[in-house]
Structure 1
C-alpha cells in the first residue's frame, strides 16, 4: 500500500468527514462518561463497560499513567506504569490486586511477556531512562539494553527512548525506539546487536512515532513483524529481517501497539481526529481488526465503514475513554484498557457481551 496514495485518499475522506462532523456537536467531548454498564462496540464485538474494575486505594497504590498490560500463564494481569511507588500492579480478573513491585522505572512504558518454554519473563521499556530491562516475574533484572551507541548502531548524541519490545521465534529482541530516533533495533536473546531498520520519515519503510511492535503469528508458516507508525495512523508490516511488506492504514486512529488474540488484532487508540480534523485531546477508543486486517469494531468510536474497499475516517463517538494506550485480552475475550493522561485512572474492563 502506497503512503502517498493514502494521503490523497485521506484528503478525500477528511472532506467527507468534515461535512459529517459539522452536524455532530463538539460538546460530546465534554460529556461525562457513564460509570458502568454502557454497551459499546459493533457487530459481534460488543462490550459492557466496567469503569471501576481496576480502582485501588490511591494512598497505597497510586498510578500516574497506566501504560500497558499483559496476562501471564496463570491468568494474572500485569500492568506497568510510570509511578515509582509501584511501577507494576498485578491483578486477578475480578480486579483484585495480587501483588505490586517496581520503584526504578520513572518512565515505565512498554511491557512484553515472553514465555520461553514454560519460563516467563518481562521486558520493560523506560524511555525516560533510555533503557530496556528483562526481568523475571518478581522484578529481578536479568538483562539491560542501553543506548545503541555502545554497539555502534547510533551516534552518542542520537535520541534513544524505547517504547516497546517484542520477541521473535528465535528469541531475538526487537526494540521500538518510538519516542527517539524511530528505528526498530534487533538484538539476540543475550543482548548482542543484530541490526536495525526504519528510521524517521514518510517513506513506506519509515516511521512517525514507532510506538509499538509485535510478531504476527496468524500465518504460522510465515510470521511477520507489525510495527506501529502512530502519527501515520498506520500499522506497517515487515519480514522478521526488516524488509517492508505492506501498510494497514487506519485513518483518524492514532494507534498504539498491536495486540493479537487468535485471529483478531486489537489496539488502543490514543487520539482520534475530531475538532477541525486535528489530533484531538481526550478522543481515544479501541479498534479491532479481523484476520484479513479489516476493522470490524471500534468500542467507544464510530462504526467502521468501507467505501469501494477503503476504510473511512474513524473518530471517537462516545466519551468513555481519554487516551487508550494499550489493551489486554483475556481467555474470555474481555478487554482491559490502560490509559495515558487520563486523570490517573486505573484500568477499565470491557466485558464481552
Structure 2
C-alpha cells in the first residue's frame, strides 16, 4: 500500500478532511519576519533560510532534521536526487548525499562514545538503516516477517527510531502495524509492544514517532506519538505503558527532547467543526510538567482551572502547512521541516 493511500484510509477513520483554513487568504509575503509564539517562547519567522536551487538540490517532503556535534544541521527528504542535505546554521549547504531512500522519513542521531551515527527509516522500502554521517550503511533491519515476528500480510512501514541508554534500537512502525519494536545494538530482536487500536491506552492509531525522554536522568522512558488520538504516550524501556499526554486538536509528529522541554511539529490541527484540516500545522512546545507553554503558528495554549488538558489547539494563521519536525540548535532557534508543503525548504524560527 502506498503511503498516501494509507494516510487517507487511516485519517478517514478518525475525521473527515475539511476545507483549508480561511486564514490562507493572507499572503505569505505580508507575514515576512512576523514574530510568533507565546510567553517565553517567541520566534521571528525566517522563510529565506536554507533555500537552494531546486534544479540541483530539490526536496519533496522535508521530513526530519538533527544537529550533530559540529553544529551541522542534517536533514532527510524522500527526494532521491539528494536524500540528505547538510547545512550550517546560516543556511549554507555544506554537503549532500543519498539516492537510495525513496521513503526517507525518520532521522535519528546517536552519539556512541564520541562517534556519531544516523538511523534512517524508509517507509517505502520497509527497512531501517544505521549509517555513518557520510552515508555508509553499517546495519539494516528488515521486515519482522523474516524473523517470525510479523505475518506475511502485516505491513511494516517504519517512521522513526530512538536509541536507548544501552544502545538498544526502538522502531516506530507508524505507517504499518502500529508496534514499537525493540532491537539490540546489533540488530537482534528483543520484543514488540503496542499494536493497532482506537480504544486501548497502550496501543496506537498511527505510532508516528518515538524518542528517549531523559528529562529525569535517573528514570529515562520512551515517549511515543499516537497521532490520530492526539496523544504522546510514555512507556518503560521494556515496553510497559505508563501514561498519556492528551493534546486535543493536535496531530503531532515525533517528540523532540531539548533540556526540560518537548518540541513537536503538529502536522494537522482541528479547525472546521473541530475536525482534522489540511494545511493547518503549527509548532508545539511543552514544559517539564508536560504543559503546553507555546504554540508558534497556533493558538495560545489555555488550561482551565484544575484541568490537566489544554483546550482545543489549532492553527492561528497560515505560517505553515504541515509541520513534520522541529530541530533545536544550541541558541534555541528552531528549524521546521514540513511534509506536503510544495517542495519548500525548512523554515527557521529565530528565538527572540
| Counterpart position of 1:42 | 38
SS in 2 for 1:311: coil
TM-score (norm 1): 0.92
The structure 1 residue matched to 2:219, chosen from 208, 222, 226, is 222
CA–CA distance in structure 2, aligned partners of residues 340 and 64 of structure 1: 8
Structure 1 portions without partners, runs of 5+: 1-24
Aligned counterparts, 1:153-164, within 5 A: 153-164=149-160
Q: Confirm or deny that 1:293 pairs with 2:294.
A: no
CA–CA distance in structure 2, aligned partners of residues 90 and 140 of structure 1: 15
The ranges of structure 1 where at least 4 consecutive aligned residues each deviate by more than 6 angstroms after the TM superposition are none
The answer (yes or no) to whether the contact 1:143–1:191 under 8 Å persists in 2 is yes
SS in 1 for 2:326: strand
| Counterpart position of 2:134 | 138
The answer (yes or no) to whether the contact 1:305–1:312 under 8 Å persists in 2 is yes
| Counterpart position of 1:79 | 75
SS in 1 for 2:145: helix
Q: Confirm or deny that 1:33 pairs with 2:32.
A: no
Q: Confirm or deny that 1:273 pairs with 2:270.
A: yes
Q: Confirm or deny that 1:203 pairs with 2:194.
A: no
Report the Cα offset of residue 150 of structure 1. Answer: 1.2
CA–CA distance in structure 2, aligned partners of residues 40 and 96 of structure 1: 24
| Counterpart position of 1:332 | 331
| Counterpart position of 1:183 | 179
Report the Cα offset of residue 26 of structure 1. Answer: 4.9
| Counterpart position of 1:117 | 113
Q: How many residues align?
A: 329
Structure 2 portions without partners, runs of 5+: 1-19
CA–CA distance in structure 2, aligned partners of residues 214 and 98 of structure 1: 27
The answer (yes or no) to whether the contact 1:298–1:304 under 8 Å persists in 2 is yes
Q: Which moved more, 1:30-39 or 1:167-176?
A: 30-39
Q: Confirm or deny that 1:52 pairs with 2:84.
A: no
CA–CA distance in structure 2, aligned partners of residues 228 and 252 of structure 1: 14
The structure 2 residue matched to 1:167, chosen from 163, 183, 197, is 163
